[in-house]
Amino acid sequence: MIQQGQSLPQVSLSLRANGETKQLGNSELFNGKKVILFAVPGAFTPTCSNSHLPGYVALADKLQAKGVDSIICVSVNDAFVMEAWGKSQNAEELLMLGDGDASFTKALGLDKDTGAFGGVRSQRYSMLVVDGVVEKLNLEAPGMFEVSDAQTMLEQL
């Protein structure tokens, strides 16, 4: 599992915007930037839609005021689902990125198998990434939502 002080693995994520799907790599997403990256087990799922994503939407301006260049939400979903979920949540200030084959999530060592519920998904976490290096990592215990929320990240900045 990735640890604080380590560089993120070189894996691309999918963004759907303006009618196009793009693959974005580490250099575009993280090089020379201060980034909040948070991951959810699934788009449109209860805790993710009712609490996790809305918290980052609500605090985006305060996080950016602390020098954050971008806020990225990742889920093991395709870019189309992430785009639709972002629109439904008014997440214009966030990058809603799909990890369709879970390659990014697996490379981080933060994957979990949910079996028939949804297969391989991401664990719930947030991290502060500065120039591609993990400075803070807030990993939730299974079934919990206590440390990866936007307010905790704001307090850590």
Closest CA to 14 of 86, 75, 99, 128: 99
Q: 48 an active-site residue?
A: yes
Tokens 């799922």 belong to 45
Tokens of 6: 């380590």
Confirm if 123 and 37 have CB atoms less than 8 A apart.
no
Q: Rounded distance, CA 156 to CA 40, Å?
A: 20
Tokens linked to 34:
């201060």
Choosing from 35, 48, 68, 74, the catalytic residue is 48
Q: Which residues pair with 84 in a beta bridge?
A: none
Left if phi > 0, otherwise alpha if psi is -120 to 50, otherwise beta: which for 21? beta
Residues noted as catalytic: 48
